[in-house]
Amino acid sequence: MAYTKSVPRIWRERIRKYRLLGGVCNDCGKVFYPSRRFCPRCGSGNVNKVTLPRTGKILYFTVIRNAPTEFKSFEPYILALIELDNGARILAQLTDIDLEEVYEGMPVEAVFRKYKEQGRDGVIEYGIKFRPRE
Amino acid sequence: MSINAAIVGYGVYLPVYRIKDVEIAKVWGRDVRRVPIKEKTVPGPDEDSLTMAFEASLNALRRAKIPPIEIEAVFVGSESPPYAVKPSATVIAEALGATPKLYAVDMEFACRAGTTAMGIVIGMVSSGIIKYGLAIGTDTAQGRPGDELDYTAAAGAAAYIFSNPGKDTIATVEGTYSYVTDTPDFWRREGETFPRHTFRFTGEPAYFTHIIGAAKGLMEKMGLKPSDFNHVVFHQPNVKFPLRVAKMLGFTMEQIKYGLLTGEIGNTYAAASPIGLANILDHAKPGERVLIVSFGSGSGSDAISFIVQDGIESRRHLAPYVEYYIKRKKYVNYSTYAKFRNLLKMR
Ligand SMILES: [Zn+2]
């Protein structure tokens, strides 16, 4: 049986999944995603929440051909490490793209899409993916 | 009480995928010369009316230049919500960052719900209940495979932000009129995937009667005639109906040209006339008068007239034009279309 997240957990994670809400460190200047209490570079607690830019470029990518059951209908898909315009990095699924189109350095933009459906009668999970930017 | 509302932001969204009507006709053995439109939009497998509504709303916010938290109402008009019970409006509002001080609800009136959402937001803004409100028309419509609707049922969204008229206003609302009767030309029962329709009703007693009723009603109420408008957009289930109703009412091709997009994108249902209105705003000049008349089966029409304001010039380039989305496309064949639209039973 496929692992499915509990509805309370999906609910707790919704803001982070729906919005590109990151953090910026007031001590070392690091911008990161998702937002958290302490800076991942210098450990400072002097961080602010910030809405990240919706555009960036692909640093690395990998093609997922044996997806977990709940992602089967989207398979094969591309998982990419993306650097946003302000330097923050985010790992996300690509969409609206064929496998042969993707390349390192490709400009991309954030979109709001369906992540997965917990069966025919379960909840639908939504979140950020990235697509090629013209 | 007079109307005190204006469009301060607008935005649209169309999926990137297209299917040509000729491709559909070949599969079903229909004469490829007798298809209703050229091509239509197809939502990707991870898109639905909710995700498209979000993208259109984000574009509207870009033009409105306000923080999302200032939005105090989100009304979503759609006949294809992802859930039978559970609002899309809450997810859209949460993703935009407009929660929790908010009026929000989903509305259904077939292809008419988008303009009805606009009418309600116009009322709430005019009365002073809210300062900024978002009205959305969005649909990922489905026709039964091979049915006439399979050739036109498309996907798209349009979003409008209204507020009191100010110095950077895009278009002020001049008047509204609504015309409604119980005319069952098209319906979909709970739990059914595809709609049913009665061809006898679709034309005369449904589409034409209601659009003409609303358009004439508005013009009589406002003391206006067709030649007073620079642009007009009608609901467009195909190309033929809006052309015919324009002629019946006394509008010219010149007035209808920017608003008529079905031939290129298909029938986007609740988004259809609002997307046409957006394309008009993409091209209109300050001072021009614009008329939108929707139609929703069941049946009803909303007519709203706008006067374009100076703010259009400095705001329209802040988000992608309708034209951008029309040109941004990737063709799919019928089997990919069937897979995307879940027309294959895989269980
Ligand atoms: Zn730091």
| pLDDT tens string B150-160 | 999 999 999 99
Smallest CA–CA distance, residue B298 to chain A, in Å, is: 28
Whether residue A111 and residue B330 make contact (CB cut-off 8 A), yes or no, is no
- Binned at pLDDT 50, 70 and 90, residue B342 comes out as confident
Q: Where are the alpha helices (DSSP H) in A54-127?
A: none
Catalytic residue among B39, B72, B235, B264: B235
Q: Right CATH number for B6-170+323-340 from 3.30.450.40, 3.40.47.10, 3.30.930.10, 3.40.50.620? A: 3.40.47.10
| Predicted pLDDT at B209 | 95
Of B231, B225, B191, B214, nearest to B296 by C-alpha is: B214
Q: Can B6-170+323-340 and B175-312 be said to share one CATH topology? A: yes
Instruction: Give the pLDDT score at B240.
Output: 94
Inform me whether the pLDDT recorded for B347 exceeds 50. no
Would you say A75 and A65 are in contact if contact means Cβ atoms under 8 Å apart? yes
pTM higher than 0.80 for the full model?
A: yes
CATH topology of domain A7-132: OB fold (Dihydrolipoamide Acetyltransferase, E2P) (2.40.50)
Nearest residue of chain B to residue A54 (CA atoms): B58
Check pLDDT > 50 for residue A1: no
Let me know if B283 is a catalytic residue. Answer: no
**Res. B200 pLDDT band, cuts 50 70 90:** low
Residue-wise burial string across B163-172, b where 16 or more C-beta atoms lie within 10 A, e elsewhere: bebeebbbbb
Q: Does B222 touch chain A (CB under 8 A)?
A: no
**Percent over 90 (pLDDT), chain B:** 85
Annotation: CATH topology of B175-312: Peroxisomal Thiolase; Chain A, domain 1 (3.40.47)
> Who wins on pLDDT, A74 or B72?
B72
Q: Does the beta-carbon distance from B51 to A129 stay under 8 Å?
A: no
What are the extents of the domains in chain A?
A: 7-132
DSSP secondary-structure letter at B267? B
Q: State the pLDDT confidence band at A71, using cuts at 50, 70 and 90.
A: confident
Q: Where are the domains of chain B?
A: 6-170+323-340, 175-312
First-to-last CA distance in chain A? Answer: 40
Location of structure tokens 């040509």: B20
Both tokens assigned to A32: 């990161």
Count of A-B CB contacts under 8 Å: 42
Q: According to the model, what pLDDT value does residue B24 have? A: 95
Residues in Cβ contact with B167 at an 8 Å cutoff, skipping those fewer than 6 apart: B311
Cα B93 from Cα A106, distance rounded (Å): 30
CA–centroid distance for A86 within its chain: 16
Nearest CA among B213, B208, B195 for reference residue B235: B208
